[in-house]
Structure formats: C-alpha cells, structure tokens
Amino acid sequence: MTFVRYREDRIPLLFFFSFFAADLAVYWFATAWWVPVAWYLLCLIPKGWVSAWNHHHQHVNMFKQGWLNRVLELGFGWQTGIVSNAWTLHHVLGHHVNYLEPLKDESGWMRPDGTTMGVFEYTWVNTLGAYPRAFRVGMRYPKHQRLFLAAIAWTLALLGTLVWLKPWNGFWLFVAAPLSSLLGTVFVTWYHHAGRPTADALYASNNIMDAMYNVVTGNLGYHTAHHVKQALHWSKLPELHEQLKSGIPAEAYAEVGAPFSWFRGLRGTPGTAKPATAD
C-alpha cells in the first residue's frame, strides 16, 4: 500500500520525522542547561526551511491518509508555529486569492497610503495578524475552520504539558523555536511580493533561481509558477517556470539571501537581480 502521494516527498518526509524525533530526544534526555539552547540556535535556519515544506504540504497533502497528514502537521506545528490548516486558510484561501491586491492580501505589504512597508514592519504586522486573519478567512470555510481550531487546541495542550513536565527544555524546544520560526517565515515572505503592485501574475512575484535555495525549500524560488498554478506539486514548478519565463520580466528575479548568498560567494556564482530594499 502506498501512503505517499508523490515519490518526491519521501526524502523530505524522512528528514521531517527525523528532525521531529531529534527534537523529542533533546527534550527528554538533555540534562545540561546549554544543550536545548544550543539545539535551538542550531535549528533556527533549518526550521525556517521546514516552514516552506509545511506550506507545500498544505497546498498538496503529502500523504493519502488523513490521519497521517494530521500526525505530520502536528510535527510541523511544533517546529514552525504553523498548525493544521493555518496555511490553508491564511495562505491558500487568503493570500493566493488576494495577492494581486496588496491592501486586501492576508500577507499584505502595502500601507493604507499606498507605500511599501519595510521588512521589519511587515514582519511584526503580519506575524501578529497571521492567526486572526486565518480565523477570519475560516469564517467562510467552516470545514477547514474546525480542523484549524482543533489543531490549535491539541497543539497547545500537548506543548503545554511538555513545558509543564520539563520547563527549561520545553521552553526552548516548543515555545521559543516555533515562535522564532514563525517570525522568520513571515520575514522572508516580504521578499516574495513586496514592492510589486500589479494585476499581472507574471509581474507580481520575485523569483529566486539559486539551486541550493530551491533544493531546501522545495522550489519555492519558482514563485511566479507557484502563484499561476498553486495546486501544482512543488516538484513540477521548474517545468511550469520554463513555460512561463519568456513572459516574466527581469525585475521579477531576486538575489538569494543569507545563508545561501554566503555559499554562493564561496562558489563564485554570480547573482541575478536585487530584491526591493529592506528598511
């Protein structure tokens, strides 16, 4: 019996569950105070990459069986601060519907006066608004809303129990880590669309062609293709990008940020185009 919808998801799934098991091992067995802190710092960037895969999963579920998807989403929620259906409501049924109208967008980067938020303003505004906006979208989709609210409840109950049992380890593994990952996820999404007010889908996203970035984020750099066909599996985005690229302007390509830019500098690989300037 095949459990996974796409064979390309098998290696990422092995990584996610191994990462989840490592979190639990550090939580249960670490006795020195510095171990969970070190693990938290070491995992800051990788857990941001896990957020990209959580995003992909809530566009196209990785498992055929619903209960396996819920188990996976529990791990995603613990690592990234984004629980079951949070992406579905806020992003799939919100942002993807409204991204061409920045003032309506659930991930909106435009101020009411039409100016562009800086990246730090955007991060705080959209982090604080993420769950309330997902809830508002969910008012129109009761079935998705029920799972979203249930996921918040069971995630908080389980994490609260773990923090109660081992407060120090639990705080760093299951409070600080997912909150930091959520902040980091919102921070990097500013670069996807900020400063591109247009009704044309081919102009409205910034694309990143760095190979390493696209390996660890599941081709998230092919962002125009993702918005043109959001239900397309991540593995097929490069193929769609090839079909679209003749209509994508040069300014809709952005340079990759850290840590990938550090590695690219070591390799001597040239950049593409610069994204909008961050405040």
Model's pTM, two decimal places? 0.89
Residues 64, 151 within the same domain: yes
Question: Is pLDDT of 267 > 60?
Answer: no
- Reading the block at residue 11, the tokens are 């290696």
Residues 177 and 232 in one domain: no
Nearest to 227 by CA among 188, 199, 250: 199
Q: Does the residue 1 lie in any domain?
A: no
pLDDT in tens, 63-84: 999 999 999 999 999 999 999 9
Residue 263 has pLDDT above 70, yes or no: no
How many domains does the chain fold into? 2
Question: Does 198 or 66 have the greater pLDDT score?
Answer: 66
In contact, 194 and 122? CB cutoff 8 Å: yes
Q: What is the CA radius of gyration of the chain?
A: 19
If asked whether residues 84 and 219 sit together in one domain, one would say no
The model's pLDDT over 121-148, given as tens digits with 9 standing for 90+, comes to 999 999 999 999 999 999 999 999 999 9
pLDDT value of residue 277: 40
Asked if the structure places residue 116 within a domain, the reply is yes
Contacts of 192 (CB under 8 A, 6+ apart): 205, 206, 223
Dist. CA 81–CA 78, nearest whole Å: 6
Q: 267 or 10, which is more confident?
A: 10
Q: Are residues 32 and 116 in the same domain?
A: yes
Query: Using CA atoms, how far apart are residues 150 and 126, in angstroms rounded to an integer?
Result: 22
The dihedral sign for the CA sequence 131, 6, 52, 198: negative
Residue (of 92, 93, 88, 64) closest to 76 by Cα position: 88
2 in a structural domain:
no
Residue 199 binned pLDDT confidence (cut-offs 50, 70, 90): confident
Same domain, 243 and 123: no
Q: Kindly report which listed range (117-131, 144-158, 183-197) carries the lowest average pLDDT score.
A: 183-197
- The residue range of the domain holding 173 is 7-197
Q: Are residues 215 and 93 in the same domain?
A: no
DSSP string across 50-104:
HHHHHHHHHHS-SBSSHHHHHHHHHHHHHHHS--TTHHIIIIIIIIHHHTTSTTT
What is d(CA 257, CA 254) in angstroms, rounded to the nearest whole number?
A: 9
265 pLDDT band (50/70/90 cuts)?
Answer: low
- Do 25 and 99 reside in the same domain of the chain? yes
Amino acid at 233: H
